[in-house]
Amino acid sequence: MEINSTKNVIKVAIGVCIVCAVLVSTAAVALKPLQKKNKKLEKLKNILYVADLLEKGKNIEEIFKEKIQPAIIELETGKKLSKENYTKILNPDNFNIKKLPHNPNLSIKIPKGMDIAGIKRKSRYMIVYFVKQEGKIKKIILPVYGLGLWSTMYGLLALDDDLKTVSAFTFYEHGETPGLGGEVDNPRWKNLWKGKIVFDKNWKLKIEIIKGKVNATKKDSKYKIDGLSGATITTRGVNNLVRFWLGESGYGTFLKKLREDGVAG
C-alpha cells in the first residue's frame, strides 16, 4: 500500500482533527471554572470601582464582602426580597440581569411608548448594592442597561446617600464603535457624571445628556452632561437608559421608598 495515497492522507487528517477536537474540548472544560471565577471578579471589580472602594493589591472579594451589601428588590413595590424568599434564581449570587427578562414568570413586557431604553421586557426584580459604613448607607449602586447603536449596554450608576447626586457611572459591557460610541469607556467622559444631580428639589427627574458641551454658567448645568462627539445614537441610548431606570418604570418606586424610610441624607 502506498503511504502517501489519498486514502491514507484523509485518514491522517481525520485523526488529527479528532485529536485537536478532544484537546480543545478538554481545555474548554478545564478552563470553565477559571473563566467563571474571573468573570465574577470582574463584576465585583466594577462594583467596587463605582463605590470608590477599589484598592490596588487588595483582595477584591474581601473588600466586597466587608463593604457591599447586595439586595434583591421588587421594582413594582420597591421592597427588598427577604432572604426567606430567595430562590435558586432570585438571590444575589445567581441573579442574572441578562436571563431574567426572558423568564415569563419573572418578567413583564414594557409598553411600547414607555420602552425608551429599547429593552422590550424587564425583570420584575433587580439587584442593587448598598455601600455601608458604620451601619449607615453611604451610596447605592444601581445596575442599568439599554440599547445603544450596535449593542445592549450594561452599566452601573452609583448615587450618594442623598439619593440625588451621582457618585460614579461606568459601563462594564457594550459593543459600541471604538472611538465613537465606545467613548462611554473614556475616563474623562465618565468623570463628567460625578457630582451631577439626577432629581430636583421636588424629586422630578432632571438628569440628561445634551448635544455638545454643557454651559457651566447656566443654573441647570448641574443636571446636564456633555454628549459624545460623533456618536448621536449611542448618546441618546445612554440618556434614555439612565432616565428609564431612574424613572417610575425602573427604580423610581424603590428610591421613593428609601426616601420615605429616611435613607436620603
Mean residue pLDDT across the chain: 89
Of 196, 209, 201, nearest in space to 242 by CA = 209
Higher pLDDT, 18 or 11: 18
The sign of the CA dihedral 226, 228, 233, 235 is: negative
- The pLDDT of residue 116: 96
Query: How is residue 263 annotated by DSSP?
Result: -
For the stretch 141-187, pLDDT in tens is 999 999 999 999 999 999 999 999 999 999 999 999 898 889 999 99
Whether residue 32 is predicted with pLDDT greater than 60 in this model: the reply is no
The values of phi and psi at residue 212, to 5°, are: 90, -155
pLDDT for res 15: 72
pLDDT at 31 over 60: no
Residue identified by cell 471565577 is 37
Q: Residue 127's CB: how many other CB atoms inside 10 A?
A: 20
In DSSP terms, 122 is beta-bridged to 108
Q: Is 76 helix (H, G, I), strand (E, B) or coil?
A: coil
| pLDDT (0 to 100) of residue 138 | 93
The grid coordinates listed for 141 are 449602586
Task: Write out pLDDT tens, residues 234-254.
Answer: 999 999 999 999 999 999 999
Average pLDDT (37-60) is 87
What confidence category does residue 40 fall into, taking pLDDT thresholds of 50, 70 and 90?
A: confident
Beta bridge mates, 35 = none
HSE-up of residue 96 (Cα within 13 Å, Cβ side) = 12
Model confidence, pTM? 0.85
Predicted confidence (pLDDT) per residue in 72-101, tens digit: 999 999 999 999 999 999 999 999 999 999
Separation CA 83–CA 72 (nearest Å) = 9
Total residue length of the chain: 265
